[in-house]
Amino acid sequence: MVSISPKGVKAWVTFSFKPHDKVKSVAIAGDWNGWEEEEMKRKKDGTFYIRKYLLMGQNYEFRYLIDHKDWVNDPNTPHVSNPFGTQNSLLELEGEIETSEK
Supply the CATH number for residue 42's domain. Answer: 2.60.40.10
Task: State how far the Cα of 23 lies from the Cα of 21, in Å rounded to an integer.
Answer: 6
Q: Please compute, for residue 25, the number of CA atoms within 13 A of its CA located in the half-sphere on the CB side.
A: 10
The whole-number pLDDT of residue 102 equals 41
Tens digit of pLDDT at every position of the chain (102 positions): 899 888 889 999 999 999 988 899 999 999 999 999 999 999 999 999 999 999 999 999 999 999 999 999 999 999 999 999 999 999 999 865 554 444
The whole-number pLDDT of residue 97 equals 53
The whole-number pLDDT of residue 18 equals 94
For residue 100, being part of any structural domain is answered with no
Assess contact for 2 and 16: CB atoms under 8 A: yes
Q: Which residues are 90's β-sheet partners?
A: 61
Q: How many domains does the chain have?
A: 1
**Amino acid identity of 27?**
A
Letter string b/e over residues 9-46, b meaning 16 or more CB atoms within 10 A of that residue's CB = ebbebebbbeeeeeeeebbbbbebeeeeeeebeeeeee
Determine the structural domain holding residue 15 and report its residue range.
2-93
For residue 82, being part of any structural domain is answered with yes
